[in-house]
């Protein structure tokens, strides 16, 4: 029996113990050999300490709205490049864009030169993905080059296709940087910022534009947009380091490693002395609610709460007790906004998973907390109208107020509420203290009590009436059979009815 026949039998067999079909991913022995070689490379490349930045969105998030995460028109990167429905009508267009970006005298040598450079980056690019890519380096390099040029042209021309913000469609920034380095150096910090600002639902405020910004080396376009949103624009693109900078960085990294090693030793000492258990009650935080309990915009307005634009985006949400004002960042919504918001939330959730026990140093999922708050206060179209009137919600295109309500109420709430819960707590405390709210609740309580009394009394009356009616029917039947004097029977029935 040859190898192919044995393989066919394995693929067709079933496990008698649990009725689970045993399948095989290989069609020939050459496929097996290629797989073994590729697994050896993956074993060397994979970095267990690095969180992948390009992930397949899990079913728990995808189930709500699958079309917000899987592209229908353009597939970028190894996850969607070879999908037949996307490949057939887009591959020629991508190649045309790639060729148009290359100078005529370089058409012969440029593609292979670029492919070779991207192959050299393969050890840095493969760990960006949360799935092991069963593709060789040459194939991956071509995918990165073709899709990278397509995305590069969109960025430089400020042309948006909403699907380029999908998490599964991201191209590592290292690819874009390599393309820019070998073409015309158009991909500056300002180009990326302008592109993200135009297409971001959440805007960063003008007031903090010119302050000193922290350098950020983005993992990809969605990552750069995310950090612009959560820092209120307080980042700038990190440029490629030269040899001197690289040497300085190495010194800093070595110093940081030494410090971390000392801290690790101190941590071990604390555990040995059980100081962590002794000190834990001092820093224990109260449990927060799994869902936000907060009145709607309409209810807050009736209670005298005002709404104003926040000065620092979503990084700091504020409620001013003295002026009864809830400050919220401006959000611009159009037909592309839900896809962008959902993928930003998915990226935040996957890059910052919630630990079993939160501490003060646990990263805060700022975007999820902001969306949770908006989901809590927006229940009806009237809520949207009020925020629109205050210029907190800006509507572009033909989105209706009802569609905006559906956007916020259709997104699953997060449970990571550590810091924004303080805002919710302040709002609820202020709302509960308002005289009009207290009076309304008192009236409602009285009406509920009255209605409960009526319902209870009505049930008692119906019960006694039923007993009387049954008694009359029994007496009537008795008289029909045995006979009763007519006057007595009528008088009895009349009295019973009374």
In a shared domain, residues 368 and 488: no
Residue 331, strand partner residues: 202, 393
Q: How far apart are CA 335 and CA 50, in angstroms?
A: 34
pLDDT digits (tens, 9 = 90+) for 261-311: 544 554 554 444 433 333 333 233 333 334 578 888 998 998 889 999 988
pLDDT reported for residue 105: 58
User: Which candidate, 106, 196, 102, places its Cα nearest to that of 149?
Assistant: 102
* Mean pLDDT of the chain, nearest integer: 75
In a shared domain, residues 379 and 325: yes
In a shared domain, residues 303 and 395: yes
CB burial of 448-469 (b: ≥16 within 10 Å; e: otherwise) equals: eeeeeeeeeeeeeeeeeeeeee
In a shared domain, residues 250 and 338: no
Position 38 in a domain: yes
Position 131 in a domain: no
On the question of pLDDT at 144 being above 90, the answer is yes
Q: Left (φ > 0), alpha (ψ -120 to 50) or beta: where does 357 sit?
A: beta
Domain count, the chain: 4
pLDDT reported for residue 328: 92
Q: Where are the alpha helices (DSSP H) in 127-220?
A: 137-156, 173-182, 189-199
Domain that includes residue 404, residue range:
297-354+362-436
pLDDT reported for residue 263: 46
Position 255 in a domain: yes
Position 199 in a domain: no
Candidate from 86-95, 100-109, 137-146, 311-320 with smallest mean pLDDT = 100-109
Distances (CA, A) of 87 to 81, 129, 408: 6, 21, 33
In a shared domain, residues 302 and 429: yes
In a shared domain, residues 261 and 305: no
On the question of pLDDT at 142 being above 90, the answer is yes
Position 396 in a domain: yes
Confidence of residue 457 (pLDDT cuts 50, 70, 90): low
Report the first-to-last Cα separation within the chain, whole angstroms: 99
In a shared domain, residues 405 and 451: no
pLDDT digits (tens, 9 = 90+) for 207-261: 545 556 788 889 999 999 999 998 888 888 876 544 333 333 444 444 444 544 5
In a shared domain, residues 249 and 320: no
In a shared domain, residues 486 and 402: no
Count how many Cα atoms sit within 13 Å of the Cα of residue 186 in the half-sphere of its side chain: 15
Position 65 in a domain: no
Residue with tokens 């079309």: 67
CA 263 from chain center: how many Å?
Answer: 34
Burial of 263 (0-12, 13-18, 19+ CB in 10 A): exposed
In a shared domain, residues 405 and 459: no
Q: Left (φ > 0), alpha (ψ -120 to 50) or beta: where does 163 sit?
A: alpha
In a shared domain, residues 301 and 424: yes
Q: What is the pTM of this model?
A: 0.71
Position 310 in a domain: yes
Highest mean pLDDT, choosing among 94-103, 106-115, 382-391: 382-391
Structural domain ending residue among the three candidates 45, 60, 81: 45
In a shared domain, residues 264 and 369: no
Position 29 in a domain: yes
């Amino acid at each position: 029996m040859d190898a192919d026949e044995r393989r066919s039998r394995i693929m067709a067999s079933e496990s008698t113990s649990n009725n689970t079909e045993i399948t095989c991913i290989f069609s020939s022995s050459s496929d097996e050999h290629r797989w073994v070689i590729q697994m050896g490379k993956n074993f060397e490349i994979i970095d267990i300490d690095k969180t992948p930045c390009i992930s397949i969105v899990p079913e728990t998030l995808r189930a709500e709205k699958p079309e917000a995460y899987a592209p229908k028109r353009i597939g970028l990167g190894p996850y969607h490049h070879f999908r037949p429905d996307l490949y057939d009508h887009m591959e020629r267009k991508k190649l045309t864009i790639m060729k148009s970006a290359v100078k005529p005298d370089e058409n012969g040598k440029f593609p292979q030169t670029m492919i070779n450079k991207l192959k050299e980056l393969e050890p840095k690019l493969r760990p960006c993905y949360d799935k092991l890519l069963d593709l060789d380096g040459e194939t991956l390099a071509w995918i990165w080059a073709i899709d990278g040029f397509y995305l590069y042209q969109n960025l430089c021309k400020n042309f948006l296709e909403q699907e380029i913000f999908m998490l599964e469609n991201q191209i590592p920034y290292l690819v874009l940087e390599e393309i820019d380095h070998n073409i015309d150096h158009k991909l500056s910090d300002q180009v990326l910022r302008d592109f993200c600002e135009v297409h971001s639902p959440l805007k960063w405020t003008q007031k903090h534009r010119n302050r000193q910004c922290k350098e950020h080396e983005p993992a990809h376009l969605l990552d750069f947009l995310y950090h612009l949103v959560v820092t209120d624009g307080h980042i700038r693109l990190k440029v490629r380091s030269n040899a001197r900078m690289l040497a300085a960085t190495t010194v800093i990294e070595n110093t940081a490693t030494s410090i971390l090693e000392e801290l690790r030793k101190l941590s071990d000492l604390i555990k040995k002395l059980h100081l962590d258990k002794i000190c834990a009650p001092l820093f224990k935080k109260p449990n927060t609610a799994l869902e936000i309990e907060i009145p709607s915009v309409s209810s807050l307005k009736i209670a005298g709460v005002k709404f104003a634009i926040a000065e620092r985006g979503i990084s700091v949400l504020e409620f001013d007790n003295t002026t009864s004002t809830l400050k919220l960042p401006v959000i611009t919504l159009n037909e592309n906004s839900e896809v962008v918001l959902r993928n930003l939330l998915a990226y935040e959730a996957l890059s910052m998973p919630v630990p079993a026990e939160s501490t003060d140093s646990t990263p805060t999922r700022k975007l999820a907390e902001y969306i949770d708050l908006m989901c809590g206060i927006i229940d009806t179209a009237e809520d949207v109208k009020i925020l629109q009137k205050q210029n907190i919600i800006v509507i572009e295109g033909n989105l209706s107020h009802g569609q905006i309500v559906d956007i916020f109420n259709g997104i699953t709430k997060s449970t990571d509420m550590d810091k924004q819960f303080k805002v919710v707590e302040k709002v609820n405390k202020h709302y509960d203290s308002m005289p009009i709210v207290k009076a309304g609740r008192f009236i409602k309580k009285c009406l509920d009590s009255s209605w409960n009394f009526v319902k209870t009394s009505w049930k008692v009356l119906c019960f006694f009436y039923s007993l009387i009616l049954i008694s009359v029917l029994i007496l009537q039947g008795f008289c029909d059979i045995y006979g009763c004097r007519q006057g007595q029977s009528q008088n009895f029935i009349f009295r019973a009815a009374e």
